[in-house]
C-alpha cells in the first residue's frame, strides 16, 4: 500500500464533495487487488436522507466496474481526530470487504488509525 498516493487521491476527492448544507467534506480512496483506485466524495441533497457518503460512492464505483477484491481503503476529512464512517457505510464495507482489507481512518494533520472491518463493525448484520 502506498499510503501517500491513496491519501492524495482521497484528498482530491474530498475537494469535489457537494456539501452545501453541512459544509462537511469527506473523501475516500479504495485500492483494489488489481491495483486500480476508486475515489469517492460525499454528495448531499436537500432531502437529507438521499445524501450519499464518500465511502459508499467509492465502493459502489468499484463494484459497478466489476471489482470484487480490495486491499486498502482510506477515508479523510477536516476533523480533529481520524474520521470514522457512519453505520450505513460500515455495513456496506462489511458486505464487500474481507478481514484482510486495511481500512485507514485519517484527518488533515496525518493522524491515522488502521483497522479491519471486524474491528470497525464487530457485530455486523449478516444473513
The reported pLDDT for the residue numbered 64 is: 98
What's the number of domains the chain is made of?
1
Contact at 8 Å (CB) between 70 and 97?
yes
125 in any annotated domain: no
The reported pLDDT for the residue numbered 126 is: 84
The reported pLDDT for the residue numbered 99 is: 95
The reported pLDDT for the residue numbered 127 is: 79
* Separation of CA 127 from chain center: 24
- CA separation for the pair 4, 2 (Å, rounded): 6
CA atoms 44, 61, 13, 120: torsion sign? positive
Please give the average pLDDT of every successive group of 10 residues along the chain, which has 127 residues. Answer: 92 98 97 98 96 98 98 97 97 97 95 96 89
Range of the domain at 30: 3-120
If DSSP codes are grouped into helix, strand and coil, which group holds residue 79? coil
Closest CA to 58 of 46, 48, 49, 67: 67
112: domain CATH number? 3.40.140.10
Q: Which of 55, 67, 95, 99 is catalytic?
A: 55
Does the active-site annotation cover 55?
yes
**Residue 99 gets which letter from DSSP?**
T
Q: Tell me the DSSP string of 8-47.
A: HHHHHHHHT-B-TTT---EEEEEEETTS-EEEEE-B--SS
98 in any annotated domain: yes
Amino acid at each position: 500500500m502506498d499510503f501517500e498516493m491513496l491519501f492524495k487521491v482521497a484528498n482530491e476527492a474530498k475537494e469535489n464533495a457537494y456539501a452545501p448544507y453541512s459544509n462537511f467534506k469527506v473523501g475516500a480512496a479504495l485500492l483494489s487487488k488489481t491495483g486500480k483506485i476508486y475515489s469517492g466524495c460525499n454528495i448531499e441533497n436537500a432531502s437529507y436522507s438521499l445524501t450519499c457518503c464518500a465511502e459508499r460512492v467509492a465502493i459502489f464505483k468499484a463494484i459497478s466496474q466489476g471489482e470484487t477484491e480490495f486491499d486498502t481503503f482510506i477515508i479523510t476529512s477536516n476533523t480533529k481526530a481520524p474520521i470514522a464512517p457512519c453505520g450505513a457505510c460500515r455495513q456496506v464495507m462489511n458486505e464487500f470487504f474481507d478481514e484482510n482489507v486495511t481500512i485507514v481512518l485519517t484527518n488533515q494533520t496525518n493522524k491515522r488509525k488502521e483497522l479491519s472491518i471486524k474491528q470497525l463493525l464487530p457485530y455486523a448484520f449478516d444473513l
